[in-house]
Structure 1
Amino acid sequence: MENKWSGVDRLFLNSLLTNDENLDYVLEANRAAGLPQIDVSPLQGKLLHLLAKVKGAKRILEIGTLGGYSTIWLGKALPADGKLYSLEAHPYFAEVARDNIARAGLQDKADVIIGNALDTLPSLLEQNRNIFDFIFLDADKPSYPDYLKWSIKLAAPGAIIIADNVVREGEVANPQSTDERVQGIQQFLQLIANEPRIDATAVQTVGSKGYDGFVLAYVK
Structure 2
Amino acid sequence: MSGGWQAVDEYIAGKLLGDDEALAATLANNEAHGLPPIDVSAAQGKMLFLLAQIAGATRILEVGTLGGYSTIWLARALPEGGELVTLELEPHHAAVARENLDRAGVSSKVDVRVGPAADSLAAMVDEAPFDFVFIDADKQSNALYVDEAIRLGRCGTTIVVDNVVREGGVLDVDSDDERIIGTRALFDMLSADTRLDATAVQTVGAKKWDGFVLARVL
Range into which the TM-score falls when normalised by the shorter chain: over 0.9
1:186 to 176, 184, 187: 184
SS of 1:201 mapped into structure 2: strand
User: How much has 1:109 moved relative to structure 2?
Assistant: 0.3
| Match of residue 68 from structure 2 | 68
Give me the TM-score of the superposition, normalised by structure 2. 0.98
How many residues matched?
218
The amino acid of 2:112's aligned partner reads V
Query: Is there any run of 5+ residues in structure 1 with no aligned partner, and where?
Result: none
| Match of residue 149 from structure 1 | 147
- Contact 2:22-2:103 within 8 A present in 1 as well: no
Identity among equivalent positions (%) equals: 51
SS of 1:156 mapped into structure 2: coil
Runs of 4+ more than 6 Å apart: none
Q: Is 1:52 paired with 2:52?
A: yes
| Match of residue 94 from structure 2 | 94
Give me the TM-score of the superposition, normalised by structure 1. 0.97
Provide the C-alpha distance between the structure 1 equivalents of 2:135 and 2:109, rounded to a whole number of angstroms.
19
Q: Is 1:104 paired with 2:104?
A: yes
User: How much has 1:22 moved relative to structure 2?
Assistant: 6.1
The amino acid of 1:187's aligned partner reads A
The amino acid of 2:7's aligned partner reads G
| Match of residue 197 from structure 1 | 195
SS of 1:142 mapped into structure 2: helix
The amino acid of 1:217's aligned partner reads A
Q: Is 1:15 paired with 2:19?
A: no
133 and 101 in structure 1: CA distance in 2 versus 1, 3 angstrom threshold: same
| Match of residue 117 from structure 1 | 117
